[in-house]
């Protein structure tokens, strides 16, 4: 959507990954990547509760600093 609207030139500058952050041009929000908590991800160990907690803590820190 952002590429189609001309906000970004390429998605390559914003790779997705668990814990990834992307600062988009103003006024767009910061994006935080987090894997879906599906059984495929959680039961295989691809992501753990600690990994989710780390990303959610980072989001809390970002929001707290913004306000």
The DSSP result for 21-61, as a single string, is: EE-PSTTSPPEE------HHHHTTTSS-HHHHHHHHHHHHH
Would residue 4 count as lying in a domain?
A: no
pLDDT of residue 62 exceeding 90, the answer is yes
Q: Which domain holds residue 36?
A: 23-66
Would residue 37 count as lying in a domain?
A: yes
Would residue 62 count as lying in a domain?
A: yes
CA atoms within 13 Å, Cβ hemisphere of 66? 8
| Tens-digit pLDDT profile for residues 37-56 | 888 888 888 889 999 999 99
Would residue 13 count as lying in a domain?
A: no
Q: What pTM did the predictor assign?
A: 0.75
Would residue 48 count as lying in a domain?
A: yes
Would residue 15 count as lying in a domain?
A: no
For the chain, what is the domain count?
1
């Amino acid at each position: 959507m952002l590429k189609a609207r001309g906000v970004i030139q390429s998605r390559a500058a914003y790779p997705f990954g668990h814990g990834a952050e992307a600062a988009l041009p103003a006024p767009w929000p910061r994006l935080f990547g987090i894997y879906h908590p599906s059984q495929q991800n959680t039961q295989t160990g691809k992501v753990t509760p600690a990994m989710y907690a780390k990303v959610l803590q980072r989001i809390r820190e970002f929001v707290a600093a913004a306000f």
